[in-house]
Amino acid sequence: MLSNQSICEACQHRAVDVIETTDDPVQPYRLCASCHERLMDYALRPIEWYNLASVHGSFKPMLHDDLYDEDGTACQPETEVIVTRQDLPPSLEQAQSDVEALLSFAVTRWYVEDEVISALKQHDALELLDALKTRYEQTPNLDVKARLLEIVADVIQTPAADWVRSLWHDVDVELLDSLASATATSLPTEEGLKRVYDKLDAIEPKELPSVAFLCLYRFRSPDVLDWIESNCDAFDSNWARLAAVSMPTWHRMNAWLERGRPFSLVALEAMVSCVEGHGGLYVDTQSPRILETHLDEIEPVLTAYERNDSVPRVRRQVAILLQNKDDIFT
């Protein structure tokens, strides 16, 4: 009987003939000759694509969405792809009853959609965590690790606290945002933020706003606003987006307007980001609002600021805020 290391990762039937390193020398594809030929011709059968994607993720150059649909259908094959019923990958309905099969299904997705999250939540959290930890520890693939941390963040949460803590001892910088998201839903807020802040201290200043947004937006903590005040020295839209999802009050936004640039520009864009479609997908999913607003102050404060900083961008943003104030301020 062939061992798992000796069986083709794509068809899962024939012996390995080729170790293909083009996409990733650290985690090469282990393939039989026939599947290797189809891989190089962008002509994998759907189940072959699915089996590879469940191990390597769906973002590798030879597997990504320029070449294959999410059901494994080849989009640009250089040879004919003959597909029989046996060549079709499992559906969510077929995979959802088995933890391992469901994790494999989740790894192959471009995004973890709500129906997949719901299916994962039907399983015992500790059983799911055990299976996930084993998969995480056995793969060198950062995309797969990130997807597993996404499942921790969206599904397992608090039961994964001790394991999430252990990952902070030696976190790969490329997984920092994924681990931070898992931390936001599994650890107490104060502890989680301290762990993230400590790692953000090592980020290059020009990269800090974008990295900070991805690492901190899921905490939804006013403490993040204090951290922004200590770290923002120039306007960046990511500071504004992060502020928008961190439970900002009207008092805080007003104080930033009074401080002048860059904080006044951050405050304006943070408030605009509360309008659906203006802050991007991650912000929209949080449905942010400006809290504890003195509604009678909105128009006079904003128009006064516009008079003092009357550049086109500010005028546009003030107009958006006044037109949408019922949706922004509470």
Q: What is the mean pLDDT of each run of 10 residues along the chain (330 residues)?
A: 78 98 97 99 99 98 97 98 97 98 99 98 99 98 99 99 98 97 99 99 98 99 99 98 99 99 99 98 97 98 98 98 98
Per-domain boundaries in the chain: 1-82, 227-330
User: What pTM, to 2 d.p., does this model score?
Assistant: 0.95
| Structure confidence at residue 1 (pLDDT) | 41
| Structure confidence at residue 276 (pLDDT) | 97
Tell me the three-class secondary structure of 200-265, residue by residue: HCCCCCCCHHHHHHHHHCCCCCCHHHHHHHHHCCCCCHHHHHHHHCCCCEHHHHHHHHHHCCCHHH
How far apart CA 119 and CA 99 sit, in angstroms, is 10
| Number of Cβ atoms within 10 Å of the Cβ of 289 | 15
| Structure confidence at residue 2 (pLDDT) | 52
| Structure confidence at residue 3 (pLDDT) | 54
